[in-house]
Structure 1
């Protein structure tokens, strides 16, 4: 018989199909500097902010921007698990508190070296994140929210009971951390650029993570965990790894916060602080990283401006958040992208 099969049917099984072939007609990916234009602009602003601050109240402005950068680091850490992993943690401030108290307790025992304090901070945050994450990630949805809240409040009440370290009143630090025995961080400008370097480093690290296979699996788990498991990935392991990374970065934010304020308090660990971090991520735009920085800046600057108008500034801030939720889906970044 004549072979009547079509040429397509005769093609080898290993031939490249149109779906597998590179899309020749697809638009080329924009260069890195264009994709990261907003982040680069923000970092450039932070870099020149000390020079701008000299025009006005330098100490006040530097303190405000340092605080914004520290909370941007904390918000970035939460965005990794919330924006990319859909894990709503109401106990994230506990990691910030661990970083704060690691500095405070070591200072109280005459261990001011920055490298020792940072190592203790990261190890303690990682251990707490691993233990609590291993338990919390066995649950889903509202149960995950409640169990992270419970762990956060557990740390909060633990710190209130630490009478040797101030208890409810908190603990005042004698100085900032030392670097190789020197008090170079007492200079606000030096400390400012240390915080900026940490922010840039954390952003670069998280950008690399979310762009890697790990990040793609994490996003896939957010969309459909069952499907990711079916194709051979264990969502639990990836989520736990992300939770530990986020906890360590939040601990770093706490380490910097304690050094800026030279004071640690259980108030840093309350569930309200965790709620504020969630608001920062949602306000800027979840799952964007840059949005976490924008959200932290917007939250703190609005708080500062509104607090000068009235002591009941939250009565104004609350409706603004409602408007963002209703009309700016995707947060501030999402609003401006749609407006283009």
Structure 2
């Protein structure tokens, strides 16, 4: 079987530049709690935790959208599955975070296999609409789930435990747990996208017929990526439920999926560093602009348009070019 052409993989210099950006982001995030405590602004820890949670969700979406060209408007459903796994298991007396993550991933994988196998038989706008339909089906299921509060959602009794220890009860504990999971997700996806699987997935994005001609069927690779992305997004849902100590169907609405796509556009589609950067900047802008004006969405829209016009590669592409420029000098 013929291997993938080397031209499908990104240049080493570009990968190195983006990896440096990611490592710098992780290093900066790691010192947020002590800095926030030192300046007397502990609420910054809560905001930074939320930024990282949505970074995990954005990274999962980037695997299928950026590398597989699968524009899913139902991806937020998996955010909801993870969140409701926490609510349902907590009511059953199961409070361990790892068990809740496994349960959320299992439900998400099952839903993704069934819906993905159907959705991937379509292309273009039909794929977008069918994933939207499946996502809305999941949304309305939980809206009608009166045992868990229906449309109003449900408050949790408390945060999960980790290996039997109450490590998530403090803001710092939840922050560093989220940071560790974010690093693991990024590292796993980074290795996956550089592997044979990732190169085939990227090849199907560029030209599925050509990939099939050299011996690679697109469907199994796309479906596998679809399921992996669903499972990783559910991890973000578990963490989101723990941060808010509240679960609502609003987590899985189509507008939430749209927000994840906006994060990718802002940071840079098809670049894990772009998904990471876009999620962090989007949440930070939402918090900062909302304090500045009630019309913050207008300002955010102008920023998004500016990035799309003047930096098609997103913020990560701009940062990577700046990094490469400094290295050359």
TM-score over 0.5 for the pair: yes
CA distance, structure 1, for counterparts of residue 183 and residue 16 of structure 2: 15
Q: Using the TM superposition, give the Cα deviation of residue 181 of structure 1 relative to its aligned residue in structure 2, in angstroms.
A: 3.2
Other-structure match for 2:299? 316
Matches within 5 A, 1:88-99: 88-99=71-82
- Say whether the 8 Å CA contact 1:50–1:58 is kept in structure 2: no
- Say whether the 8 Å CA contact 1:71–1:296 is kept in structure 2: yes
Q: Using the TM superposition, give the Cα deviation of residue 336 of structure 1 relative to its aligned residue in structure 2, in angstroms.
A: 3.9
CA distance, structure 2, for counterparts of residue 211 and residue 288 of structure 1: 12
Q: Structure 2 residue aligned with 1:189, among 150, 154, 172? A: 172
- Say whether the 8 Å CA contact 2:154–2:247 is kept in structure 1: yes
Other-structure match for 1:55? 38
CA distance, structure 2, for counterparts of residue 336 and residue 204 of structure 1: 20
1:41 maps to 2:24: yes
The answer to which of 109-118 and 219-228 deviates more is 109-118
CA distance, structure 2, for counterparts of residue 64 and residue 80 of structure 1: 25
Other-structure match for 1:276? 259
Cα-to-partner distance string for 1:250-308 (whole Å, 9 max, x where unaligned): 00000111011110001111111000000001110111101111100111111111101
Q: Using the TM superposition, give the Cα deviation of residue 35 of structure 1 relative to its aligned residue in structure 2, in angstroms.
A: 5.7
Q: Structure 2 residue aligned with 1:154, among 130, 137, 144? A: 137
Cα-to-partner distance string for 1:170-223 (whole Å, 9 max, x where unaligned): 110001112343322102212211100100000000001000000000000000
Other-structure match for 2:227? 244
Matches within 5 A, 1:78-227: 78-227=61-210
- Say whether the 8 Å CA contact 2:263–2:275 is kept in structure 1: yes
The answer to which of 310-319 and 40-49 deviates more is 310-319
CA distance, structure 2, for counterparts of residue 286 and residue 83 of structure 1: 5
The answer to which of 323-332 and 271-280 deviates more is 323-332
Other-structure match for 1:13? none
1:289 maps to 2:272: yes
Other-structure match for 1:9? none
Q: Could you say what secondary structure the match of 1:179 adopts?
A: coil
Gaps of 5+ in 2: none
Q: Sort the Cα spacing of 1:35 and 1:310 in 2 relative to 1 into closer, same or farther, 3 A.
A: closer
Q: Structure 2 residue aligned with 1:71, among 46, 50, 54? A: 54
Q: Structure 2 residue aligned with 1:305, among 288, 294, 306? A: 288
CA distance, structure 2, for counterparts of residue 145 and residue 29 of structure 1: 33
CA distance, structure 1, for counterparts of residue 104 and residue 303 of structure 2: 36
The structure showing larger relative contact order (alpha-carbon pairs under 8 Å, at least 6 residues apart) is 2
TM-score by length of 2: 0.91
- Say whether the 8 Å CA contact 2:268–2:315 is kept in structure 1: yes
Cα-to-partner distance string for 1:62-116 (whole Å, 9 max, x where unaligned): 0000000000000000000111111111111000000000101111222212232
The answer to which of 198-207 and 176-185 deviates more is 176-185
Q: Structure 2 residue aligned with 1:334, among 300, 317, 329? A: 317
CA distance, structure 2, for counterparts of residue 242 and residue 31 of structure 1: 23
Q: Using the TM superposition, give the Cα deviation of residue 323 of structure 1 relative to its aligned residue in structure 2, in angstroms.
A: 1.7
Q: Using the TM superposition, give the Cα deviation of residue 334 of structure 1 relative to its aligned residue in structure 2, in angstroms.
A: 2.3
CA distance, structure 2, for counterparts of residue 61 and residue 86 of structure 1: 35
The answer to which of 126-135 and 320-329 deviates more is 320-329
Look at both structures and tell me which one has the larger radius of gyration over its CA atoms. 1
Gaps of 5+ in 1: 1-19, 23-27
